Amino acid sequence: MFNKLCIIGVGLIGGSVARAARKNKLCATVSAYGREQDLENLQRAQDLKVIDSYSLDLAEAIAGADCVVIATPVGAMQDILKQLAANWSEQTLYMDVGSTKGHVVIALNEVFGFLPGNFVPAHPIAGAEKSGVDAAMDDLFLGRRLILTPDKQADKAFVQLATEFWQGLGSHIAFMQVEQHDAILAATSHLPHVLAFALVSVLGKNDEKVETLKYASGGFKDFTRIASSDPTMWLDICMANKQHIIPLIEQLSSELDAVKLMLEANQSQQLHDTFTYARNTRERFLEQHNNMTQSITFTVQPGGHLQGQVRLPGDKSISHRSIMLGSIAEGVTHVSGFLEGDDALATLRAFQAMGVKIEGPDKGEVTIHGVGLDGLQAPEEPIYLGNSGTSMRLLCGLLAGQKFDATLTGDASLSGRPMRRVIDPLSIMGAKIESTEKGTAPLTIRGQKSLQGIHYDMPIASAQVKSCLMLAGLYAQGETSVTEPAPTRDHTERMLSGFAHPVKQSDNLVTVSRQGALKATDIDVPSDISSAAFFLVGASIAPDSDLTLKHVGINPTRTGVIDILRLMGANIELMNERTVGGEPVADIRVRSADLKGIAIPEEFVALAIDEFPVLFVAAACATGQTVLTGAKELRVKESDRIQVMADGLQILGVDAQPTEDGMVIQGGAIGGGSVISHGDHRIAMAFSMAALRATDTIVIQDCENVNTSFPGFAELTEGLGLNISAQES
């Protein structure tokens, strides 16, 4: 991959990068730079064959290097960059591996006056309390998270190169913004280090007076392991990220003060609650951590076709709403066809945490023992919603009308998604919702607020915002009405009617008010047209395909994908159309067709909002040019779907040009390559389908979140003719 890799600072991390790069044959030679005082260490690195050569002269060390990794303590960054700037090469990939990223951006700006496109900040979430080159390991990054925080202006080719390099070392790549990275790391890594150092200092001072530590055992050793870390390195990290660390120290101090007061006042119940809360939180962390560190890669061989008949998993939007409305209804609601994906399960667990008895899911069957509009109970802990935007936004509305406070959290993707779109109108209704400064999760929704109905003219076409306000409207005084700039999915409206709760609808206006109890009902969830979309495209683009998708929801607010594909020339037939539980359903037959590029009419955007990743794949296989406009919302979905799809398609050799609110794609051949889904389920599944028309293997990284909407995707799709395999690591 590289001819010459140069490591600046050959300690534990720098040495491990060198060792791992050599082991994985990612570079021909490794050079290193260090200062006078590092001479012995550099010599040792050479003796250990971690590096081939070194120099005390930076220019000499980096001469001819096509990849430079800065692995010095964070505080040395500016100085190193100044020296590098004098010998900067536009052809070289530069990366740092520091634990804070804000300081890198500051240093780059100071030295260059801008952020060079070929600098990609990287942070391997890996380490050991040992330091120095002797501790360097060639598998330090294997199976570990690696966070990249490239600037928006960064050169895509270099970001891809960086990605492939770290993947080559075995890391799972995640992308984050600098600020988000530093805030998260302050809480999860920097504060624990500060605490470990402080605790050991206290005990050390005591030990000088009375021998104490010789009686310490496993608990002390486990808790303080990280206090053996390199003090210079941690001094630098703490100074560089103090703006995030100090508020956390203050929070910790008041928690300790609270514990002290509980002890003084013999408040054993409170103390017990505090300890229980912490223990439960840790257990939840361990569970999530195990899921998170598991990474799934899809490898899809080129060619194949899709044939047969299949019933796909249940509709995600309807599954969420079935739990929400079933929980606040009176009586027992039976749901069949429930989507057992992580997103809908997050909603199910949230209501269980608020005291609702929910049985299942068992083969899609769920029984909800509704508690009535005012029967929910305060959750004991923050509610973790994983990747699910629908859970978070709809719950905001529903929780705004409760008597209790609740906090909603989510994974890195959900924590970066805009929530002001619900916070703002809910606040006008009288709700009190606390968020981060950027208007993102965690969100704390304060209870005991009396809500007032409003009329809201929605600036964006969002079913989540509309549904959120309708749910809040069930708890507000007077009428709550929403107008939408374009039609969006109306499952909340339909389901409320199914629960015998009146909803007024005219043109683009929907109105609700509190009108007695919701009455439990039975819900038959159809297959999700958003999941069907992958097969509509897959069977259209793959020669000799003939596939029938059974019992798919064809609510007209969701069928934009069919309209768009038909405009492109697809052969899609709706059969056996019927209405099931208030939702229109059909069997859909799709056969191969020659697609042609089109200008996608903007009126279809909201009606196909989740289907664009796979529609871009259809466009890549079509003859001629496809243009999408008016779809800016795609930038704030589970990932920035415009950028991520354009990047991936370009890797596969497709001419795909992202625009601010859409994409321009020239249809043609699809090659092979390794693409990243950025943890976005629909990106992962879209690229899987691209393989049907690719000339070479497509590898898709980061596919674990396919489980959010389509558990069993790889197995099911393989059965229909796609040559796909999923590997866990």
Active site residues: 610
Stretches 188-196, 262-270, 462-470, 579-587: which one binds ligand S3P (CB under 6 A)? 462-470
CA 465, distance to chain mean position in Å, is 20
> Nearest distance from residue 609's CB to ligand S3P, in Å?
5
> Chain-centre distance of CA 589, in angstroms?
33
Residue 463 or 614 with smaller CB distance to ligand S3P: 463
Tell me the two tokens of residue 339: 């989507």
- Closest approach of Cβ 220 to ligand S3P, in Å? 48
CB of 321 to ligand S3P, least distance (A): 7
Pick the closer one to ligand S3P by CB: 41 or 317: 317
User: What's phi and psi for 569, nearest 5 deg?
Assistant: 105, 15
Q: At closest approach, how far in Å is the CB of 631 from ligand S3P?
A: 11
d(CA 628, CA 612): 9
**Least separation in angstroms between CB 682 and ligand S3P:** 9
**Encoded amino acid at 696, one letter:** D
x/- map, 377-416, ligand S3P, by CB under 6 A: -------------x--------------------------
* Residue whose CB is less far from ligand S3P, 129 or 633: 633
Contact between 247 and 254 (Cβ < 8 Å): no
Q: Is 610 in the site for ligand S3P (CB under 6 A)?
A: yes
Taking CB under 6 A as the criterion, the residue among 489, 494, 501, 551 binding ligand S3P is 489
Cβ atoms 249, 111 nearer than 8 A: no
Instruction: Specify the residue, 124 or 397, whose C-beta has the smaller distance to ligand S3P.
Output: 397
- The site string for ligand S3P over 38-57 (x = CB under 6 A, - otherwise) reads --------------------
CB-based contacts of 701: which residues, under 8 Å, 6+ apart?
A: 167, 172, 173, 295, 297, 674, 675, 676, 677
Nearest distance in Å: CB 144, ligand S3P: 30
By the rule CB under 6 A, 464 interacts with ligand S3P: yes
CB nearer to ligand S3P: give 317 or 674.
317
Is the CA virtual torsion 533, 490, 472, 516 positive or negative? negative
Q: What residues between 216 and 235 interact with ligand S3P by CB under 6 A?
A: none
The type of residue at 313 is P
467 near ligand S3P, rule: CB under 6 A:
yes
* Residue 678 C-beta: closest distance to ligand S3P, Å: 16
Q: Which residue has the tokens 């709550």?
A: 480
**DSSP structure string for 19-59:** HHHHHTT-EEEEEEE--GGGHHHHHHHHHTTS-SEEESSHH
CB-based contact 122:97 (threshold 8 Å)? yes
Q: How far is the CB of 368 from ligand S3P (least distance, A)?
A: 18
Nearer to ligand S3P by C-beta: 16 or 462?
462
Kindly write out the interface string for residues 550-589 of this chain, putting x where it contacts ligand S3P by CB under 6 A and - elsewhere.
----------------------------------------
What is the layout of strands, in order, in the sheet containing 443-446?
A: 383-384, 406-409, 443-446, 432-434
Decide whether 163 or 467 has the Cβ nearer to ligand S3P: 467
500's tokens? 């015998």
Q: Single out the segment in contact with ligand S3P by CB under 6 A; choices: 58-66, 224-232, 269-277, 460-468.
A: 460-468
Residue number, 236 or 680, with CB nearest to ligand S3P: 680
Q: Using the rule CB under 6 A, which residue among 41, 317, 688, 705 binds ligand S3P?
A: 317
Site string for ligand S3P, 269-308 (x = CB under 6 A): ----------------------------------------
| Between 167 and 322, CB nearer to ligand S3P | 322
- Which of 323, 564, 609, 690 is in the footprint of ligand S3P by CB under 6 A? 609
The 10 Å CB-count burial string (b at 16+, else e) for 509-526 is: ebbbbbeebbebbebbbb
Residue 100 vs 559, nearer CB to ligand S3P: 559
- Cross-strand partners of 100: none
The stretch among 143-151, 457-465, 494-502, 622-630 that binds ligand S3P (CB under 6 A) is 457-465
Task: Give CA–CA dist 236/258, Å, rounded.
Answer: 31
How many residues line the site for ligand S3P (CB under 6 A)? 10
Q: Are 138 and 23 in contact (CB under 8 A)?
A: yes
Give the nearest distance from C-beta 651 to ligand S3P in angstroms. 25
The torsion angle over the Cα atoms of residues 587, 590, 596 and 597, rounded to 10 degrees, is 50
Kindly tell me which of 68 and 609 has the beta carbon lying closer to ligand S3P.
Answer: 609
Q: Determine if the peptide bond prior to 442 is cis (ω within 30°).
A: yes
494-498-503-504 Cα dihedral, nearest 10 degrees = 70
Tell me the β-bridge partners of 482.
456, 510
**Distances, alpha carbon 660 to alpha carbons 342, 631, 633, 646, 657, in Å:** 31, 9, 10, 12, 10
CB count, 10 Å around CB of 403?
A: 11
**Closer to ligand S3P by Cβ: residue 558 or 693:** 558
3-state DSSP of 294-342: CCEEEEECCCCCCEEEEECCECHHHHHHHHHHHHHEEEEEEEECCCCCH
- The minimum distance between CB 322 and ligand S3P, in angstroms, equals 12
Stretch that binds ligand S3P, among 57-65, 77-85, 292-300, 458-466 (CB under 6 A): 458-466
Q: Tabulate helix, strand, coil % of the chain (nearest 5).
A: 45, 20, 35
- Give the binding range for ligand S3P (CB under 6 A) out of 47-55, 60-68, 348-356, 461-469: 461-469
Q: 10 Å Cβ neighbour count for 434?
A: 12
How far is it, in rounded angstroms, from Cα 383 to Cα 507?
A: 36
- The amino acid sitting at 286 is L
Adjacent-strand bridge partners of 307: 546
With 0-12 / 13-18 / 19 or more C-beta atoms within 10 angstroms meaning exposed / middle / buried, residue 436 is: middle
Q: What residues make contact with ligand S3P under the rule CB under 6 A?
A: 317, 390, 462-464, 467, 489, 609-610, 633
